[in-house]
Structure 1
């Protein structure tokens, strides 16, 4: 069983940083019903428990991506076209772990995998 890191600010020498990309299932552009207050409370409790359990591994909780976007090239910027994907990127976070398997375990326990079709892509960040 994987044990969380000792401190958030001081990664061990063997720890690496991983980018976790929240992927949401592609859905038609139809309004969805908001979760009930009870469901929201349950979701928040799950998130809080996960965040507490892995607080020493969480480098940056990142956030949800907004609608504003641009494509940047050497020639300038433009409002698209954007990469089409089956899954939509919903957000990101950075975590510290000694192996990608440990990073995947942290991500698998996150609320980002709670719903049908939701997933978290884990990618190692390599720095020079």
Structure 2
């Protein structure tokens, strides 16, 4: 069994989604997570990622404020699941309520663990 990170990418919808719709999506998300957990496949519920108190460090050492929600796409959060294959992890991702938003996506990445030198 492998572990996969499901990374939620979304476009800024703050001016397009009502508070009621956001609440409905949150309830759907909790239900979706509960379904994965009931299969003993949820490793971590992860967290959402805030824009406040955030910085971007670049390879040249420059540090900037951000990321900002006014860019086209942002990473909104993540969860970690346990799956037999990337295909099974993709099936979990397909059930994510974030996909109801136009332009949103879920990136599925296998977690690579390094045990150190042998």
Among candidates 81, 95, 105, match of residue 119 of structure 1: 105
Q: How high is the TM-score relative to the length of structure 2? A: 0.71
Instruction: Tell me the number of residue pairs that the alignment of Structure 1 and Structure 2 aligns.
Output: 108
Root-mean-square deviation (Å)? 2.9
Residue deviations 1:51-103 (CA, integer Å, cap 9, x gap): 22210211111111111222347886722586xx7421111111110100100
Contact 1:70 1:77 in 2 (8 A): no
Aligned CA distance change for structure 1 residues 106 and 33 (closer, same or farther; 3 Å): closer
Aligned CA distance change for structure 1 residues 48 and 86 (closer, same or farther; 3 Å): closer
1:52 paired with 2:34, answer yes
Aligned with 1:79: secondary structure? Answer: strand
The match for 1:6 is none
Structure 2: runs of 5+ lacking an equivalent? none
1:79 paired with 2:64, answer yes
Give me the whole-angstrom Cα distance separating, in 2, the residues matched to 1:116 and 1:73. 30
CA drift of 1:115 comes to 1.8
Aligned CA distance change for structure 1 residues 33 and 94 (closer, same or farther; 3 Å): closer
Structure 1: runs of 5+ lacking an equivalent? 1-14
Give me the whole-angstrom Cα distance separating, in 2, the residues matched to 1:18 and 1:120. 12
> Which has the larger helix fraction?
2
Q: How high is the TM-score relative to the length of structure 1? A: 0.66
Give me the whole-angstrom Cα distance separating, in 1, the residues matched to 2:31 and 2:104. 19
Contact 1:70 1:78 in 2 (8 A): yes
